[in-house]
Amino acid sequence: MASSLICSRTQSRVSSVLNRDVKQYGKKFMFDCNEETCWNSDQGDCQWVLLEFPQPVNVSKVKLQFQGGFSAKTCRLE
């Protein structure tokens, strides 16, 4: 089983937060291991997440989980 590359020194940025309500929907909820919370973007095209790791990493798998009833039409990994 692969372990997560996300650590306390991993920096993240997101395109938006729903209604700018970071207390309920902020990026900190993406990796808190709680299925009751999540990052929630505002509406619009091209929502994105940027991760900056503290050292070089080898990524072997990316897992995305969308909130019930929602999904992306297109995803792009760069």
What gap in Å lies between CA 29 and CA 16, rounded to an integer?
14
In our burial notation (b when 16+ CB lie closer than 10 A, e otherwise), range 33-53 reads eeeeeebbbeeeeeeeeeeee
Give the pair of three-digit tokens for residue 71. Answer: 């999904």
pTM listed for this prediction: 0.78
Which pLDDT does position 26 carry in this prediction?
A: 94
Nearest Cα residue to 7 out of 41, 57, 49, 47: 57
Residue 1 scores a pLDDT above 60: no
pLDDT digits (tens, 9 = 90+) for 10-64: 999 999 999 999 999 999 998 888 888 989 988 888 889 999 999 999 888 888 8
The more confidently predicted of residues 18 and 8 is 18
Tell me the pLDDT band of 2, cut-offs 50, 70 and 90: low
